[in-house]
Structure 1
Amino acid sequence: MNVFADFEDRVKKAVEPIVSAGEEVDLSRVTVEPPRDAAHGDLATNAAMVLAKGLGMKPRDLAEKIAATLGDDGDVQTVAIAGPGFINLTLTPAFWTRHLAGLLNAGADYGRGAPTGRKINVEYVSANPTGPMHVGHTRGAVVGDVIARLLAFAGNDVTKEYYINDAGEQVNVLARSAFLRYREALGQAIGEIPAGLYPGDYLKPVGEALAAEFGDRLVGKDEAEWLPIVRDRAIDAMMAMIRTDLQTLGVEHDVFFSERTLHAGEGGKIAATIADLTAKGFIYQGTLPPPKGQTPEDWEDREQTLLRSSDVGDDQDRPLVKSNGAYTYFAADVAYFKDKFERGFAEMVYVLGADHGGYVKRLEAVARAISGGAAVADCVLCQLVKLYRNGEPVKMSKRSGDFVTLAEVVEEVGRDPVRFMMLYRKSDAPLDFDFQKVTEQSKDNPVFYVQYAHARAAAIFRQAAEAGIDLPDFAAADVAMLGGLEDVGELGLLRKLAEFPRLIGQAADAKEPHRLAFYLNDLAADFHAQYNRGKDLPQLRFVNQAEPKLSIARLGLVKAVATVLFIGLDLIGANAPEEMR
């Protein structure tokens, strides 16, 4: 039901008679898309522009030949050549009527892609298990979750994964911080929290739980004895808190992967990965140049185990084993990618904070080294979120314990505004989140504007029932039922609805969920505009008792708008209300 893919095939077939026998023409660059100006028609193709040189013709001359063939298509009302050779098509009202019937028959599956058989792993959030989630994590959580939903709706086999960073020094710091709260729960005076430890009150329940379980038995032990015990319980408590925060946001993962499992066993998966890469010629013993900003005199040159990542697209080679024999953090990342690849994933999507921009090339290089090009790493960066309340910035600092949590934001404004507005900018652009603006009921608030459009559609159906219009089963709509939609606003809505399947594919492929939020806002605007036209021109109202047959067709259009709004909001993870107060 992708109109643009359908007509792309028709355009390519129109080119076939023009190509001489035995002549090869690359049709991969031929596209069909909405024209920039709706006045130019329903569809536009660049076929003549991209094929003319290969066929030894002028673009305009080729466009005229292609246009002549397309003009014979029964679904094409007019063909126009613009500029140096762009071809604009206007489709017949009968075509749009058939498409509307197909949309209504498809229902909640409209725009859903056929199964691709492609396994994709989407890893997102992966916050260190050292405290509750703050608003900085929220954007990555929503972006990653909606990317996964889009990819699945587009027909891919998607696994949503959370990587638990439970093997680094930060979890030892967590354990020491929790131990301090444990002593506090036993009645000891701990004074001011030392610098370098986590000061938040969220660790008090962990200390109390440790006191209840162990009494004072841990107090006299050496750190080497109590630290692993406290660390395990603190990580479990933090992950339970994080899971609760994610549920508050409506985010669920299929897999929670522990970094520690990469180290477990004799040698561990990291050692096995290094051995595999050694056999492939990617490992050597060597030294690295000093980092940017450091002179050779400031740099201690030590021999390390290095990955030849520069051979596969990275800026430089990367250390995997330090000179003291300890694994680097990157070594775990490499083993983790190999684990995913061995689980059958062809694409690994990483949703990362903007401060991880330096990881993009190295992860792409790892994908090439591990898989030999059979799998890819696709990194999506999320810029910072700035919170505002009453026009004043809200400061947050996780280390000082003075920060706004994800749960607090959702509790104040609701899940739907949070999820929608986290997508209302491209993820690699900074986002301002204003508590007041995201809850106001106006067209300037996109989430309200879109949800109100769905509620308005439901209200129109209630109005039709009150007017005594006997509504048919739109899930079995046919052309005869939907004929007569010829108003410019109605045809504009049909064109906008037809963009949805293409939008799904593009947003999924590009890993850009903001496109869906923008599209829904545009669709809502077109729908509200047509509703308002009916206020001024009674003959355009969706419900017109004087013309019951035309009212049925228009209600079919309303049903289609509501269906697409519902699908889109569901992919975003927001509700599609039947009424709003």
Structure 2
Amino acid sequence: MFLSFREEVEDALVDALDGLDLPTDDLGIETPPEGVDAVLASSAAFRLAGEVGAPPPKVAADVADAVDLADADLVAAATAQGPYVNFLPSDAYYEGTVEQAQDEAFGRLAPTGEEVVVEHTSANPTGPVHVGRARNPITGDAVARILDFAGHDVDRHYYVNDAGRQMAVFTWAYETFDEDDLPAPERERADYDLVRYYRKGHEFLEEGDPEAVEEAETEIQSLIQGMEANDEETFERVARVVDQVLSGMQVTLDRLPAPFDEFVKETRFMRDGSTDAVVDRLKDSEYAEREDGAWQLDLEPFDVDKEFVFLRSDGSTLYTTRDLAHHEWKFDNYDRAVTVLGEDQQLHASQLEAALEVLGNDTDQLESVFYSWVNLPDGGMSTREGTGVDLDDLLDEAVARAREEVEKRMDDRIRDDDLSEADVDRIARQVGIGAVRYDIISKQRSKTITFEWSRALDFEAQSAPYVQYVHARCCGILAEAGEGSVPDAVDASLLDSDEERELLETVARFPAVIEEAAADLEPHTVATYTREFAETFNAFYRECPVLADDVDDDLRDARLALVAAARHTVGNALYVLGVEAPESM
């Protein structure tokens, strides 16, 4: 309803301004401040005051008087309040909101026909996922979910760095050292097993006998050249290491969850010749130059203050060179290419974009989503020397702490009658992992986060458990009312208290929140909405009993329909954030 309401407001404002011979290029439509009894307001009077030579309140009054709502269905009135024109909803707005939000898919926008690839995480396959990179899969998965909910056809890709020196060192170490040379793995899983070889290899190259190190470097260089020469045996040797590590990393990512439609390997673009073709085209460009045997691009004309080396003096390509071929493949197969990157990758991203332009690509298809860092939590998270904190450790700790919080809130009757140990385990997992995701997503991605357990797991504050509890409460009310208790048609005009109307207005805004978050690629917009939603629902819950004996049947039915609308809204909002919505807590 909100999107339709906005269209009616836009049409009415344009007609009113046209009638007053005023420009319509900026309607100034915005959400009014709290306490204003309107769904939308226009601040255009500020802009138009100079145009007409009158103070903004006088302009707003004239515009409000000129608004004709004869053809409007959802807008009941336009009134001036100081320099603003406020637009009030009709009964049809509330009735339509109740009806639309009975759909379990409420908030999902119509298909756009646009195909989007979201590349995120893409952590090097050298060992377990580190907590320092946790913001990438959490942010990337949320961006993909929001774009999908906004009607786009979305593919989620993990770009696998399976070429270059790092992978050559890993493969050499895996083939060189014995199990007896290594410490015990920290977990019984492939990524934890193989990372020991990777660390041992680097230790050897830094501290080993110079003659032995020189021999090792010869073998490593042979692997690099084998990949550059498209030697199938070399690719298979590297793949044995990469695929095992990836299988373990996927277990961690699945816990978040952060699913992928495809793991796209770097070597794919070496094997099919597209990387070599990119190198040849770059060499022919006017920006190419050779220095000390290496080929590079002068990107100063593109406001990139650093040369981009795309071919080393030994004839080997670089990660970014191969990524150029990768992105041209994306451009051929998708309408938009969204990449989620840490803020330390901004230079890489600017070089990539400039080089793509050198190659003749329209980089309007390319969008980079940068995020800042997550500082580690204090207390309860020991950092192992040389390894830091793995994401599995953080998730384990989150579930354990969530279980403690859940058990604090359980009395013996609830434990015996309602929740089994399996239920407690489920809730602890949903709340614990949800708390980590939500705490990270709820902050603007440009801001550094200091993760705090007390805040993330606070059931009473603006956190995942606080919002999840609203969904569980909705489910509890509907379960108590009984299956099929919400009738197909209700009298929504009975929902006329301030708390009911405010909840309806908040429900109605959800599709617009999805639209805004998708346009800006900002998941925190949805998180902010869920906190506001939870506060609004809790006010309704306190003041508007649903199943009490003194509530007549028609009002009971209307409030049950509103609870069902709230459940669909908050459940879908949590879904697009990647946070589970428990049915009981």
- In the alignment, the residues of structure 2 paired with residue 319 and residue 206 of structure 1 have an alpha-carbon distance, to the nearest angstrom, of 30
One-letter amino acid of the structure 2 residue matched with residue 355 of structure 1: D
One-letter amino acid of the structure 2 residue matched with residue 321 of structure 1: L
Q: Which region of structure 1 is more displaced relative to structure 2, 429-438 or 145-154?
A: 429-438
2:369 alignment partner, SS class: strand
Q: Which region of structure 1 is more displaced relative to structure 2, 108-117 or 238-247?
A: 108-117
Residue matched to 2:86: 88
What runs of 5+ residues in structure 2 fail to find an aligned partner?
Answer: 185-190, 199-214, 225-233, 400-428
Give yes or no for the alignment of 1:421 onto 2:446: no
> What are the superposed Cα offsets for residues 186-206 of structure 1, whole Å, 9 maximum, x if unpaired?
xxx5799xxxxxxx9622898
One-letter amino acid of the structure 1 residue matched with residue 33 of structure 2: R
Q: Which region of structure 1 is more displaced relative to structure 2, 233-242 or 94-103?
A: 94-103
Residue matched to 1:571: 576
Q: Which region of structure 1 is more displaced relative to structure 2, 85-94 or 248-257?
A: 85-94
Give yes or no for the alignment of 1:373 onto 2:341: no
Give yes or no for the alignment of 1:562 onto 2:572: no
1:529 positional shift: 2.2
Residue matched to 1:329: 319
Residue matched to 1:472: 486
- In the alignment, the residues of structure 2 paired with residue 204 and residue 375 of structure 1 have an alpha-carbon distance, to the nearest angstrom, of 39
Which of these residues, 189, 199, 203, is aligned with residue 194 of structure 2?
A: 203
1:349 alignment partner, SS class: strand
1:369 positional shift: 4.1
Residue matched to 1:537: none
- In the alignment, the residues of structure 2 paired with residue 446 and residue 396 of structure 1 have an alpha-carbon distance, to the nearest angstrom, of 29
1:48 positional shift: 3.7
What runs of 5+ residues in structure 1 fail to find an aligned partner?
Answer: 193-199, 208-219, 288-301, 535-539
- In the alignment, the residues of structure 2 paired with residue 191 and residue 558 of structure 1 have an alpha-carbon distance, to the nearest angstrom, of 56
1:44 positional shift: 0.9
1:62 positional shift: 4.4
One-letter amino acid of the structure 2 residue matched with residue 352 of structure 1: L
1:487 positional shift: 0.8
Q: Which region of structure 1 is more displaced relative to structure 2, 447-456 or 62-71?
A: 62-71
Q: Which region of structure 1 is more displaced relative to structure 2, 422-431 or 41-50?
A: 41-50
CA gap of 1:140–1:320, structure 2 versus 1, over 3 A, is same
Residue matched to 1:46: 43
Residue matched to 1:452: 469
One-letter amino acid of the structure 2 residue matched with residue 45 of structure 1: S
1:263 alignment partner, SS class: helix
CA gap of 1:278–1:112, structure 2 versus 1, over 3 A, is farther
Question: Would you say the 8 A contact 1:507–1:513 is kept in 2?
Answer: yes
- In the alignment, the residues of structure 2 paired with residue 206 and residue 318 of structure 1 have an alpha-carbon distance, to the nearest angstrom, of 32
CA gap of 1:183–1:396, structure 2 versus 1, over 3 A, is closer
1:410 positional shift: 2.4
Give yes or no for the alignment of 1:517 onto 2:505: no
CA gap of 1:338–1:558, structure 2 versus 1, over 3 A, is same
For 1:117-132, list aligned pairs within 5 A.
117-132=113-128
Give yes or no for the alignment of 1:542 onto 2:546: yes
1:575 alignment partner, SS class: coil
Which of these residues, 261, 273, 278, is aligned with residue 273 of structure 1?
A: 278
CA gap of 1:122–1:313, structure 2 versus 1, over 3 A, is farther
Residue matched to 1:291: none
> What are the superposed Cα offsets for residues 437-466 of structure 1, whole Å, 9 maximum, x if unpaired?
5445x212611111111111122224434x
- Give the % identical residues: 27
Which of these residues, 134, 146, 152, is aligned with residue 148 of structure 2?
A: 152
Residue matched to 2:239: 232
Which of these residues, 127, 134, 151, is aligned with residue 130 of structure 2?
A: 134
CA gap of 1:240–1:501, structure 2 versus 1, over 3 A, is same
CA gap of 1:20–1:541, structure 2 versus 1, over 3 A, is closer
CA gap of 1:323–1:151, structure 2 versus 1, over 3 A, is same
Residue matched to 1:79: 78
Which of these residues, 375, 378, 390, is aligned with residue 386 of structure 1?
A: 375
1:358 alignment partner, SS class: helix
- In the alignment, the residues of structure 1 paired with residue 318 and residue 391 of structure 2 have an alpha-carbon distance, to the nearest angstrom, of 31
CA gap of 1:347–1:117, structure 2 versus 1, over 3 A, is same
Question: Would you say the 8 A contact 2:283–2:295 is kept in 1?
Answer: no
Residue matched to 2:163: 167
2:143 alignment partner, SS class: helix
Residue matched to 1:293: none
For 1:487-526, list aligned pairs within 5 A.
487-526=497-536
1:50 positional shift: 4.2
Give yes or no for the alignment of 1:353 onto 2:342: yes
Q: Which region of structure 1 is more displaced relative to structure 2, 128-137 or 62-71?
A: 62-71
CA gap of 1:507–1:370, structure 2 versus 1, over 3 A, is farther
CA gap of 1:471–1:337, structure 2 versus 1, over 3 A, is same
CA gap of 1:357–1:458, structure 2 versus 1, over 3 A, is same
Which of these residues, 42, 64, 89, is aligned with residue 61 of structure 2?
A: 64
- In the alignment, the residues of structure 2 paired with residue 41 and residue 458 of structure 1 have an alpha-carbon distance, to the nearest angstrom, of 30
CA gap of 1:324–1:554, structure 2 versus 1, over 3 A, is same
1:577 positional shift: 1.7
Question: Would you say the 8 A contact 1:341–1:375 is kept in 2?
Answer: no
CA gap of 1:362–1:61, structure 2 versus 1, over 3 A, is farther
2:126 alignment partner, SS class: coil
CA gap of 1:313–1:204, structure 2 versus 1, over 3 A, is closer
1:481 positional shift: 2.7
CA gap of 1:58–1:78, structure 2 versus 1, over 3 A, is same
For 1:9-20, list aligned pairs within 5 A.
9-16=8-15, 18-19=17-18
Instruction: Name the TM-score, length of structure 2 as normaliser.
Output: 0.79
One-letter amino acid of the structure 2 residue matched with residue 339 of structure 1: W
> What are the superposed Cα offsets for residues 114-152 of structure 1, whole Å, 9 maximum, x if unpaired?
222222111100000100112123221011011001001
Which of these residues, 105, 108, 112, is aligned with residue 116 of structure 1?
A: 112
Instruction: Name the TM-score, length of structure 1 as normaliser.
Output: 0.79
Question: Would you say the 8 A contact 2:441–2:524 is kept in 1?
Answer: yes
Question: Would you say the 8 A contact 1:313–1:364 is kept in 2?
Answer: no
CA gap of 1:74–1:117, structure 2 versus 1, over 3 A, is closer
Residue matched to 2:227: none
Residue matched to 1:434: 452
One-letter amino acid of the structure 1 residue matched with residue 354 of structure 2: A
For the aligned residues, what is the CA RMSD?
3.4
1:11 alignment partner, SS class: helix
One-letter amino acid of the structure 1 residue matched with residue 449 of structure 2: L
CA gap of 1:317–1:62, structure 2 versus 1, over 3 A, is farther
- In the alignment, the residues of structure 2 paired with residue 320 and residue 35 of structure 1 have an alpha-carbon distance, to the nearest angstrom, of 52
1:39 alignment partner, SS class: coil
Residue matched to 1:297: none
- In the alignment, the residues of structure 1 paired with residue 495 and residue 30 of structure 2 have an alpha-carbon distance, to the nearest angstrom, of 23
> What are the superposed Cα offsets for residues 369-413 of structure 1, whole Å, 9 maximum, x if unpaired?
4464363322122222223254x665466xx23x32222322332
The total of aligned residue pairs comes to 516
Q: Which region of structure 1 is more displaced relative to structure 2, 117-126 or 415-424?
A: 415-424
1:545 positional shift: 3.1
Give yes or no for the alignment of 1:410 onto 2:395: yes
The structure whose residues are more often helix, as a share, is 2
Residue matched to 1:216: none
One-letter amino acid of the structure 1 residue matched with residue 536 of structure 2: D
Question: Would you say the 8 A contact 1:97–1:485 is kept in 2?
Answer: no
Question: Would you say the 8 A contact 1:206–1:234 is kept in 2?
Answer: no
For 1:306-321, list aligned pairs within 5 A.
306-321=296-311
Question: Would you say the 8 A contact 1:19–1:55 is kept in 2?
Answer: no
Question: Would you say the 8 A contact 1:25–1:55 is kept in 2?
Answer: no
Q: Which region of structure 1 is more displaced relative to structure 2, 548-557 or 65-74?
A: 65-74
CA gap of 1:153–1:548, structure 2 versus 1, over 3 A, is same
